[in-house]
Amino acid sequence: MALKPSYTIIQPREDLREGKPLDASAFAVHLDQVRDGRAPKVYQKPEEFFNRTYLTQNLTGFAAEVIRRLSGIKTEANAVFNLTT
């Protein structure tokens, strides 16, 4: 059985379909801007954010580690994370 091309199964976002250039700033946000309500709307609405974000295995692991630390659970991992895109 042949696999179908991904573009026939998943519809790309409108901006990608129209060939608009990607703005790298759309992929990063300062958390203080989210807290203060100054971040772009996609970061203010969790439903919209998670509809547009694919949580990779590493990102899921990172989020779990942050939640453990914020909950006061002691872990063996380093408290400083260096994230790159």
Domain-wise residue ranges, the chain: 13-70
**Residue 16: predicted pLDDT:** 81
Average pLDDT over residues 23-28: 74
Asked which of 56-60, 66-70, 78-82 is least confident by mean pLDDT, the reply is 78-82
Tell me if 48 sits within 8 A of 41, measured CB to CB.
yes
pLDDT-based confidence at residue 32 (cuts at 50, 70, 90): very high
| Dihedral sign from CA coordinates of 54, 7, 23, 37 | negative
Q: Pick from 22, 21, 34: which is nearest to 85 by CA?
A: 22
Q: Which residues of 71-83 are buried (b: 16+ CB within 10 A; e: fewer)?
A: eeeeeeeeeeeee
